[in-house]
Structure 1
Amino acid sequence: MRSKIVTADEAIALIRDGDTLSSTGFVQTGFAEALLVALERRFLATGRPRDLTLFAAAGQGDGKELGLNHLGHEGLLRRVVAGHWARMPKVGQLALADRIQAYNLPQGIICQLFRDLAAGKPGTFSKVGLHSFVDPRHGGGRINAATTRDIVRLVEVDGEEWLFYKVGRVNVAFIRGSTADTFGNITMEREALLLNNLAMAMAAKNSNGIVIAQVERIAERGALPARQVKIPGILVDCVVVAEPHQHRQTVSTQYNPAYAGEFRVPHIGPVAAALDARKIIARRAAFELPPNGIINLGVGMPEGVAGIAGEERISHLLTLTVESGLIGGIPSTGGDFGTGVNMDAVIEENQQFDFYDGGGLDMACLGMAECDAAGNVNVSRFGSRLTGAGGFINISQNARLVVFVGTFTGAGLQVAVEDGRLRILAEGRRRKFVRQVEQITFNGQYAHDRGKPVYYVTERCVFRRVPEGLALIEVAPGIDIGRDILAQMDFTPVIDEPIPMDPRIFMAEPMNLEAELLNLSLPERVIYDAGRNILFLNFEGLYVRVAGDVQAIWDICEQRCRAAGKRVGVVINYDRFRISQEATDAYAEMDRHFLAHYFTRITRYATSAFLRAKLGEALSRRDIAPHVFERREDAQAFLTTLGETAQATNQDEETRP
């Protein structure tokens, strides 16, 4: 059988006018640079092929000249369907100038479409994108006026809204691996990521198209271990051996064996970063980290949360993931973003998005470029700047908890921390909290309707999405609400007794976050006063995230009650107390159990009127008496009065004839 090894020019000569090309890659990692260069070279020399459709999930390139930027020539492309546009500004300019038809779809959807096209399915059904700019009611992902055809439809199945995504056939697939044999079997032992290479190859082959693979070395047929072959030769038509400079592991790194999983790098102790705005934001976001949780950190400012986890020595309590397919380990940053070291596993990109879309993430921490009064967030389109959503919609819509992070203003913001207080030295020139975002990448109302907790963390304050919209819930020490917050916004948020941000955030020393996340302080929070027969529960600042946190409270309270040997009255301090939606029912069941077996009565207090109202509403809804007071003295007096009343009633019953 003839060898499939050809030159790049010979492979590119097989592409015809009007073909649909799918291209592999993730940001600055794993794209087939030699093939893209050869395609550009042929077009510039001959004017062919013309009017291609480009089908790409993640951004692919250096944001300047490399990767998909080689295709940024008028006439070469007719239509582009992409998840992310910032890495290919030359193609983006064609879209903004109405020179091509252009769509921005969620990155995960495009990954899954490759697989569904390979299976002969008509498209993909998903809730991802509902009520965002991808929803046909809000533009259907179309980028410009030249784009008129709808490729996303709103459908109803069993009374529920879904989106149906349909994109045509794939005629050509550019894939990439490490080693190929002469028959086209391909391994990926030196690649940092698996991406969608297999699904793309199957999609093209089952569309009667061609698959062109870029590799760095050749083996004889039969020399590759079968279990190492990631793309079988039956799917591959041409194999091109790239020069080393066109087959870098990432744009920033020629080859790092740790990225390929050849070995685990030794643990290096954390290096404490300066206490600037980025670190303040990352520190506050870290308070939301769920112990033993599965987490996605976005590119840019969210990456700082991993640094805080290292400083606080809690990285072992977390599993970080990247949408590129990494699970566990230490994700890379900067030009190597998407790769990592010491991973637990590396899976295909479409499989990672299956996991994300199904609700597998306990928390997502993502960037926030623009936010409005409804809690909507825009990260995808700003006037003449086209960024694209990437995996943002998949991740933010389906994670159990979402924390958006960003400075309060942009372009020139300068701050300083002095004696534990934040001072604004120079205000940013660009406002981020606007009356209405230009494009809805994340829909705040849709998230709230589905019971998703959403926080918006800045260096000077924290917001949360509540029924009325965006609510100011925390303010940094030293910040004036009127001058530093309201005067720098285009709208007035809900304000109801915001509390100070945790003072530890603004101190140079570590925050002892491990004790916070693991509730190691619970024994100190539960105190029994034998003289008054009252159990005091100091839940100030406590965050009950999961059912396991409820069980920890249950265990220590039961231990104290059994030691008392009788029923006790209970006073609970709920200042700055928070509980996740998924733990609420377990918490209410705990209340009912202790009232039935150990407690005479529960009284509660919180200085925040907003928290008192929310607690009262939640307790009443679960048929628990909502005795919530403003001060500890009021709660204790109420408990004492109840005890005296009960004692008088008992005495009256004993003397009654």
Structure 2
Amino acid sequence: MQIMSFNDLKDIVKSGDVIALAALSVSNLPVNVLKHIVKAHDEFGNIDDLTFMLANDISDYRGDGYDLDSFVSRGMIKRLIMSIIIGSPKTIGAIKDNELEAYFVPQGLLATHYRNSSNKFPNMISKIGLHTSVDPRYTGGKVNNMTKEEIVSLLEINGEEFLQYAFPKVDIALLRGTYADSEGNIYMNHEAHLGEGYGVALAAHQNGGKVIVQVKEVVQHGSFKPTEVFIPGELVDYVFINDDPKYHRQTFQHYYNPAISGEYKVLDMPEPANKFSIRKVILRRAAQYLSEGNVVSIGFGINNELSNLLVEEKVDDLVQLNIDTGVFGGMIGSGQNFGLNYNLDAKMRHEMTWDFIYNGGLDIAYLSFAEVDQFGNVNVSKYGDRMNGCGGFIDISQTVKKIIFSGTMVVGSQSTCNDKALVIEQEGHSKKFVEHVHNMDFNASYAKELGQEIYYVTERAVFQLTDEGLKLIEIAAGLDLEKDILANIAFQPIIDDELKVIDQNIYQDNWGGLQQCIKGNGSNY
């Protein structure tokens, strides 16, 4: 391990390198390293044609740091392999305009493949991604017309179908820790989550590449327990000591908050309860599918407010929440605080979370939808002018036993609640229940083969995936079936012979009925 000056980066990172990062937003993002790579390019112009691999979205969001947009705006990136992109508008624009190659692949596969990236395990082989956009029978994960190379292929082993993912070898691992000791061991004491940095370091080291770690400080060897080492010094080539706190933020919101890194517990939820809204109504109905003892995966979007609802309803102790960054239990932040967990039960490496998920650790998943079609297929990654990517959606939706897809029925509609009934004040402008989804992130036919239990919850109606197709099973009080439901669906769903009214008690400011629902659904203990 060498302690280096940031100016030395110009001699380490080369044109054509494959660079892997292990970060989420600014958490674990080595922003000062990125800054000086960009500066080296601006001054010497010899760092181009880069491939970036990242399992999660990265962005400084504040405009005072360095992220994907800093590289893309300079034409430094040739190819992106990622699961999700939200916070990098210039990069998204470049992908749409065919200015760089891009792939969207399942987050869990990307995060876990690093540790097997050797000649002993030549490629990643998995059932994850079958019959979705990642499958080469669809797009093979290719996002635009410029992207030609196939990195996903179809295999048959003992009569069963699998996908083989051929990710490029890592030349440079750009990582971050809180401290390095004098032997090069890396510690993550102040970080919000651990990430997959250990696996990324393994992959770069095995390939003869370089492992670069940005830290706050170098401490004497022995300052921390051996069990606290996240990356052993034998894997670390260069350590760079950050000299500006704004380039080493724990989260978008905080330079450092010890409650987020799990160093102490908070007594009260550090966010207010969700205001009464249509989103809250949807969450209330969706939450009624929980059973006591459930291990619950919380997805990005509307469902990241579920934790707040559970705290408000005083049922957060009845289930265990999980998000796929590697944190278990506790209270999950919502909105811009999503991914920031308080009062954790456990904190694990990112790839270990996917081990947990792939091996049946989850009971139920709460996921969003952008489009649902007549067969029950779901698109979450490419719709309208949006190009988000799949994130961990595909991994989770192909491994969990029960899925609740949540969202409003019509884009742009305005609704209120009156006397425990739903009132559509202004109809929306775009249908989300379409004849055919524009991108296949969830394949309903495959879900039936897997024996999954699937529901689609909106403020107006609830649907269930059945062997016969998508079935309308509940409707909100106050609505007209033809005018408010069927007229806003691009197909004719199956209508349950015993069509029920959604629990009217959830359409009012104060509820308090979730505990009875969860305990009434049985127990997983």
Question: Fold match, TM over 0.5?
Answer: yes
**Number of the residue aligned with 1:563:** none
User: What is the alpha-carbon distance in structure 2 between the residues aligned to residue 326 and residue 272 of structure 1?
Assistant: 22
Q: Is the 8 A contact 2:22 2:195 kept in 1?
A: yes
TM superposition shift of 1:252: 1.6
TM superposition shift of 1:38: 1.4
**Number of the residue aligned with 1:147:** 147
Q: Is the 8 A contact 1:299 1:333 kept in 2?
A: no
- In structure 2, give the amino acid aligned to 1:16: K
- Spell out, residue by residue over 1:94-127, the C-alpha distance to the aligned partner (whole angstroms, 9 max, x if none): 2222222211100101001111115842121111
- In structure 2, give the amino acid aligned to 1:236: V
**Number of the residue aligned with 2:418:** 418
User: What is the alpha-carbon distance in structure 1 between the residues aligned to residue 120 and residue 164 of structure 2?
Assistant: 15
TM superposition shift of 1:64: 7.3
Larger Rg: 1
User: What is the alpha-carbon distance in structure 1 between the residues aligned to residue 10 and residue 441 of structure 2?
Assistant: 36
- Spell out, residue by residue over 1:355-413, the C-alpha distance to the aligned partner (whole angstroms, 9 max, x if none): 112221101001111111111111111254321111111111211110010111123x2
Q: Is the 8 A contact 1:117 1:203 kept in 2?
A: yes
TM superposition shift of 1:45: 2.4
Matched, 1:306 2:307: yes
Q: Is the 8 A contact 1:204 1:210 kept in 2?
A: yes
- In structure 2, give the amino acid aligned to 1:288: Y
**Number of the residue aligned with 2:71:** 71
Q: Is the 8 A contact 1:48 1:76 kept in 2?
A: no
TM superposition shift of 1:311: 2.1
**Number of the residue aligned with 1:232:** 232
User: What is the alpha-carbon distance in structure 2 between the residues aligned to residue 76 and residue 49 of structure 1?
Assistant: 7
TM superposition shift of 1:271: 5.5
**Number of the residue aligned with 1:21:** 19
State the SS of the aligned residue for 1:398: coil
TM superposition shift of 1:414: 1.5
**Number of the residue aligned with 2:167:** 167
User: What is the alpha-carbon distance in structure 2 between the residues aligned to residue 31 and residue 141 of structure 1?
Assistant: 25
Q: Is the 8 A contact 1:290 1:363 kept in 2?
A: no
Q: Is the 8 A contact 1:214 1:240 kept in 2?
A: yes
User: What is the alpha-carbon distance in structure 2 between the residues aligned to residue 544 and residue 318 of structure 1?
Assistant: 12
State the SS of the aligned residue for 1:518: helix
**Number of the residue aligned with 2:30:** 32
Larger helix fraction of residues: 1
Q: Which moved more, 1:203-212 or 1:263-272?
A: 263-272
Q: Is the 8 A contact 2:305 2:335 kept in 1?
A: no
Q: Is the 8 A contact 1:11 1:238 kept in 2?
A: no
TM superposition shift of 1:156: 1.3
Q: Percent identity?
A: 35
User: What is the alpha-carbon distance in structure 1 between the residues aligned to residue 43 and residue 377 of structure 2?
Assistant: 47
Q: Is the 8 A contact 2:293 2:523 kept in 1?
A: no
Which one has more relative contact order, counting CA pairs under 8 Å at least 6 apart?
Answer: 2
TM-score (norm 1): 0.76
RMSD: 1.9
**Number of the residue aligned with 2:5:** 7
**Number of the residue aligned with 1:623:** none
- In structure 2, give the amino acid aligned to 1:514: Q
User: What is the alpha-carbon distance in structure 1 between the residues aligned to residue 321 and residue 448 of structure 2?
Assistant: 25
User: What is the alpha-carbon distance in structure 2 between the residues aligned to residue 102 and residue 295 of structure 1?
Assistant: 31
- Spell out, residue by residue over 1:489-548, the C-alpha distance to the aligned partner (whole angstroms, 9 max, x if none): 2111111332100122123333432222223xxxxxxxxxxxxxxxxxxxxxxx5676x7
- Spell out, residue by residue over 1:37-59, the C-alpha distance to the aligned partner (whole angstroms, 9 max, x if none): 11222222222211111111111
- In structure 1, give the amino acid aligned to 2:15: D
C-alpha change, 1:57 and 1:144, in structure 2 (3 Å) is same
State how 1:444-463 maps to structure 2 within 5 Å: 444-463=444-463
**Number of the residue aligned with 1:326:** 327
User: What is the alpha-carbon distance in structure 2 between the residues aligned to residue 336 and residue 9 of structure 1?
Assistant: 34
TM superposition shift of 1:204: 0.4
Q: Is the 8 A contact 1:408 1:458 kept in 2?
A: yes
User: What is the alpha-carbon distance in structure 2 between the residues aligned to residue 214 and residue 120 of structure 1?
Assistant: 30
State the SS of the aligned residue for 1:472: strand
TM superposition shift of 1:25: 0.4
Q: Is the 8 A contact 2:285 2:506 kept in 1?
A: yes
Counting matched residue pairs gives: 521
State the SS of the aligned residue for 2:137: helix
- In structure 1, give the amino acid aligned to 2:456: Y
- In structure 2, give the amino acid aligned to 1:9: N
- In structure 2, give the amino acid aligned to 1:52: L
- In structure 2, give the amino acid aligned to 1:471: K
Q: Which moved more, 1:192-201 or 1:24-33?
A: 24-33
C-alpha change, 1:491 and 1:298, in structure 2 (3 Å) is same
- Unaligned runs of at least 5 residues, structure 1: 520-542, 549-657
Matched, 1:342 2:343: yes
Q: Is the 8 A contact 2:435 2:490 kept in 1?
A: yes
TM superposition shift of 1:317: 0.6
Q: Is the 8 A contact 2:48 2:77 kept in 1?
A: yes
Matched, 1:41 2:39: yes
Q: Is the 8 A contact 2:304 2:335 kept in 1?
A: no
Q: Is the 8 A contact 1:28 1:336 kept in 2?
A: no
- Spell out, residue by residue over 1:201-250, the C-alpha distance to the aligned partner (whole angstroms, 9 max, x if none): 11101100001101111213444432222111111111111221000001
Q: Is the 8 A contact 2:476 2:501 kept in 1?
A: yes
C-alpha change, 1:212 and 1:397, in structure 2 (3 Å) is same
User: What is the alpha-carbon distance in structure 2 between the residues aligned to residue 61 and residue 268 of structure 1?
Assistant: 26
User: What is the alpha-carbon distance in structure 2 between the residues aligned to residue 209 and residue 178 of structure 1?
Assistant: 22
- Unaligned runs of at least 5 residues, structure 2: none
Matched, 1:209 2:209: yes
State the SS of the aligned residue for 2:70: helix
